[in-house]
Amino acid sequence: MKNRYPILIVVIFIYLFAMVGGLLPKEKAAEAYRLTIPLGLDEFSPQIPKDNPLTNEKVELGRLLFFDKRISIDERVSCASCHNPKLAFTDSQPVSSGFQGQKGKRNTPTIINRLFSSGQFWDGRADSLEEQVKAPLINPVEMANPSHEGVVGRLKKIPGYPPLFKTAFGTEAVTMDHIAKAIASFERTVVSGNSPFDRFETGGDKKALSESAWRGLKVFRGKGQCHLCHTGFNLTDELYHNLGAGWAESEKDRDLGRYAVTRKEEDKGKFKTPTLREIEKTGPYMHDGSLRTLEEVIDFYDRGGNKNPNLDFEMRPLKLTPQEKRDLLEFLRSLSGAGWQKIMPPARFPE
């Protein structure tokens, strides 16, 4: 009888340990985000930095920050004010307007499929989505914060935010680095694929394209030479070209594009080849929003772009027939797909 006690004590100890272990709050490990890559996109191409792996917690925090107007100086402009999900993450204006309605100089590009590119902005001046985020926050005509510290300070004061940074990054510290990593993670989930073009090209469904769109694809890859620059699964070579769009007569009004980054003479007036996915929904077009419709874009290419000393050698009159133009337009429309429509603004923001 006597020698039973030690066993009993051990059992009680084990029981107590298990109870305390269960009751004490555990550090919740961040969960890897399962990126769904729609048909037609290359699942091996996402540009995700090693120090910012995708997790559910970061993506969700990034979504809150992307839609939260409190990150601008007057608490009236969010990223989504210009990158509006209802307009395929653009704003339907020739050039964007931000803080107090001030106009910027460039057209708002979509954030769809940005996870496949490193160079961000029309001139590629940011090398990653993380770096890109930092610019609009302190741009005087966009979110107009005097400094990044100002943004950090405001978010810190919202009691609901630090705990979300804790679940995403393991520390309550609200820092610019964490803000950028969270927003960039969210942006990487905004994708478009599985368009009629993808079902035709990758899925092998020969009926996915209308007769006209199919003829348009042949113009795109043939007489129109569009594929020379709009190439690969995301329809961009990720390079910079001069088409002469918005080339101003007077030098001081000229947007020199890529030149601002490289200071190379030959880069004057070059801009990044954008993706053509969802193109039907993202007008007006070109870096300066100077072309209102896709018909205008096709006419622009048909006349060989705008003459200027740096015009790309591929740019020459195409002599497309009216039928070829209509077919090309039908093809461009077949690049509207799915993925990004699932993304909704948050129902509630941290208080």
Lookup: tokens for 15 = 């029981």
Prior bond to 284 cis, omega within 30?
A: yes
CB 35 within 8 A of CB 189: yes
Q: Residue 158 corresponds to which tokens in the numbers above? A: 């919202």
Stretch that binds ligand HEC, among 164-172, 195-203, 311-319, 336-344 (CB under 6 A): 311-319
Question: Minimum Å distance from CB 140 to ligand HEC?
Answer: 11
Of the pair 209, 276, the CB lying nearest ligand HEC is at: 276
Binds ligand HEC (CB under 6 A): choice among 199, 230, 277, 325: 230
- Residue 93 as a binder of ligand HEC (CB under 6 A): the answer is no
Cβ neighbours of residue 297 closer than 8 Å, sequence gap 6 or more:
285, 286, 291
**Least distance between ligand HEC and beta carbon 122 (Å):** 4
Q: Which of 47, 225, 231, 306 binds ligand HEC (CB under 6 A)?
A: 225
Q: Which two tokens stand for residue 283?
A: 């007008």
Closest residue by Cα to residue 278 from 120, 112, 136, 167: 112
Q: Which of 315, 302, 303, 331 has its CA nearest to residue 270?
A: 315
Considering the candidates 142, 278, 324, 330, report the single residue annotated as catalytic: 142
Q: Is residue 285 at the binding interface for ligand HEC, with CB under 6 A as the rule?
A: yes
Residues 92 and 283: beta-carbon distance below 8 Å: yes
Residue type, 172: E
Of 37-45, 48-56, 128-136, 163-171, the window that binds ligand HEC (rule: CB under 6 A) is: 128-136
Q: What are residue 23's phi and psi, to 5 degrees?
A: -80, -35
CB atoms within 10 A of CB 78: 19
Does 334 interact with ligand HEC (rule: CB under 6 A)?
no
Footprint on residues 58-87 left by ligand HEC (CB under 6 A): 66, 77, 79, 81-83
Cβ 43 to ligand HEC shortest distance, Å: 21
CB of 24 to ligand HEC, least distance (A): 38
Which residue type occupies 161?
Y
Quick one: which segment of 13-21, 47-55, 163-171, 293-301 binds ligand HEC (CB under 6 A)? 293-301
Candidates 55, 96, 194, 334; binder of ligand HEC (CB under 6 A) is: 96
Q: Which is nearer to ligand HEC, 282 or 334 (CB)?
A: 282
Based on the shown chain and the rule CB under 6 A, indicate whether residue 228 belongs to the binding site for ligand HEC. Answer: yes
Does the footprint of ligand HEC cover residue 128 (CB under 6 A)? no
Q: Which of 139, 157, 35 has the alpha carbon at shortest distance from 82?
A: 139
Which range of residues in 12-20, 43-51, 155-163, 237-245 is near ligand HEC by CB under 6 A? Answer: 237-245
Q: In whole angstroms, what is the distance from residue 320 CA to residue 210 CA? A: 20
Is 201 tagged catalytic? no
Tokens of 166: 């804790």
| Exposure class string for 276-298: b at 16+ Cβ within 10 A, else e | bbbbbbbbbbbbbbbbeebeebb
* Angstrom distance (rounded) from CA 90 to CA 111: 8
Binding residues for ligand HEC, per CB under 6 A? Answer: 66, 77, 79, 81-83, 96, 98, 104, 106, 108-109, 111, 114, 120-122, 129, 132-133, 136-137, 142-143, 183, 187, 224-226, 228-230, 241, 243, 245, 271, 273-274, 276, 279, 282, 285-287, 294, 297, 301, 312, 314-315, 328
Catalytic residue annotation:
142
